[in-house]
Amino acid sequence: MKKTKKRRNIFLHCFIILSILIASLLYAEFTVYGLKYVKNYFFNYDNLKYAFPPGDGYHAPSPILPHTVHPPFLFRGKKFDKEKDPGTIRIMTLGGSTTYGFCVETKDTYPFQLEKILNEKGYNVEVINAAVSGYTTMHSLINYMLNLVYLEPDIVYIYHGINDVVIGDNPETFKTDYSHVMHAIGAEWYEHSNIYTILQKRFKFFTKVKYRYLSLKSNVSRLFKFSSKSKEPSRRPNKAYDPVNNILMETIISNLRHITVVAKEHNTKLVYSTFATMYEASEKEKKKLAVQMKNQFGRKPNWFNKGREKGRENRIVLKLEFLNNEIVKLGSELNVPVVDIATIGKKAENFHDEIHQSPQGNRLQAEKTSQILISNKMIHKEANSFEIKK
């Protein structure tokens, strides 16, 4: 009887301690959320799974991460005024996590580096990093039309690729607003936690835990064969891939065309870019990257090309290659300069993983972009809005 009572007391104490711990975490979570966003009001777009900031939210600093502001609500980088200085050339970058910057400090993102390079060369430039991790061309199109266009950028630089091409392209289920897969896009459940975000920024251990969890989840799914149905449309290994008549490719190019139309109506110049990855690097460089990723993230690269061993095509690589070629063609058709950075995907030192660039890779992209802007006379050392928008 005494043993039973003792066990009950132990169980009760454990339950109370666990309840207090959970309550404390929830309290901390909502406190952090309140500290970050109490002064801002946001519009939510359910079909996009993200929120965009109106009004003064454009440059509100984050009290938790003072050196960077975190999307989807705020821009990453230095504070800027909504009203642009007439003597300043305002460049805006659109994209996903590869533009926002993954596992790099703000100063090592290519938008920050681009501003630094151009200012050092005597150009009065400010670069706004308007990217949001997970965004596709469709997200950027809507965000640009509804919000970013009112910041009156002189030049818009578009860097998109991987987030679009991984979307299912089955013509029977495909929808041009990507709503057929939108519920599967975005962060894992735990990444919505503000506490997790802060800990991940401060300790690499949490990044490794994340990838361990994803690896375990993938292995369990494979073991019991219950992978997400939303991903099935993109898995058609037995059917030949036809990029020319592919509805997804048509939609991506259409999104870029629409951004271009909106930009030109507001006298804003455009710059496109090809997309750089490590998918087509040499085996030697891939092995180097695998070692880097193992040390930093605790996981190996997923090259999306395991099917090649069985004689099947690598659809992701084929899509990216075709998209890069189409972007070059579109730039030629619409007289929009194209920054071809696909070639930097040959060296492991330029990347953190298969698609996200290291500080050195971002520096190379910034240098190539600055060269295109200068050679095409899109920026001037004595800048005024008439010269830029003419």
pLDDT confidence of residue 59 = 34
Per-residue pLDDT in tens (0 to 9) along the chain, 390 residues: 666 777 778 888 888 888 888 888 777 766 655 555 443 333 444 445 554 443 333 333 333 333 344 444 467 887 788 888 888 999 999 998 899 888 888 889 999 999 999 999 999 999 999 888 888 999 899 889 888 888 899 999 999 999 999 888 888 888 888 877 765 444 455 555 556 666 665 666 666 676 667 667 666 666 665 444 444 444 444 456 787 788 999 999 999 999 999 999 999 999 999 999 988 888 898 889 888 888 877 777 776 545 444 434 578 888 999 999 999 999 999 999 999 998 887 888 999 888 999 999 999 999 999 999 999 999 988 644 444 444
Residue at token pair 């800990």: 199
pLDDT confidence of residue 378 = 94
- Please check whether residues 202 and 218 belong to one and the same domain: yes
- Please check whether residues 244 and 144 belong to one and the same domain: yes
pLDDT confidence of residue 344 = 85
pLDDT confidence of residue 183 = 53
- Please check whether residues 17 and 116 belong to one and the same domain: no
The answer for residues whose C-beta is within 8 angstroms of residue 84's C-beta and 6 or more apart is 90, 126, 151, 152
**Domain of 208: which CATH number?**
3.40.50.1110
Distance, CA of 108 to CA of 358 (rounded, Å)? 8
Minimal CA–CA distance to 195: which of 371, 33, 379?
Answer: 33
pLDDT confidence of residue 224 = 63
pLDDT confidence of residue 257 = 97
Minimal CA–CA distance to 271: which of 336, 321, 217?
Answer: 336
Question: What are φ and ψ of residue 176, in 5° steps?
Answer: -65, -15
- Please check whether residues 262 and 137 belong to one and the same domain: yes
pLDDT confidence of residue 311 = 39
- Please check whether residues 249 and 282 belong to one and the same domain: yes
Total number of domains constituting the chain: 2
* 8 Å CB contact between 383 and 89: yes
- Please check whether residues 78 and 10 belong to one and the same domain: no
Host domain of residue 5: 1-38
Question: What are φ and ψ of residue 45, in 5° steps?
Answer: -115, 105
pLDDT confidence of residue 293 = 85
- Please check whether residues 122 and 258 belong to one and the same domain: yes
- Please check whether residues 296 and 262 belong to one and the same domain: yes
The answer for residues whose C-beta is within 8 angstroms of residue 373's C-beta and 6 or more apart is 91, 118, 155, 271, 337, 379
Write out the two tokens for 298: 């605790």
- Please check whether residues 158 and 76 belong to one and the same domain: yes
Radius of gyration of the chain from its Cα atoms, rounded to whole angstroms: 23
Q: What is the DSSP letter of 87?
A: T
- Please check whether residues 72 and 27 belong to one and the same domain: no
pLDDT confidence of residue 310 = 42
Distance, CA of 29 to CA of 48 (rounded, Å)? 24
pLDDT confidence of residue 117 = 96
Give the amino acid at 142: I
- Please check whether residues 74 and 123 belong to one and the same domain: yes
- Please check whether residues 116 and 205 belong to one and the same domain: yes
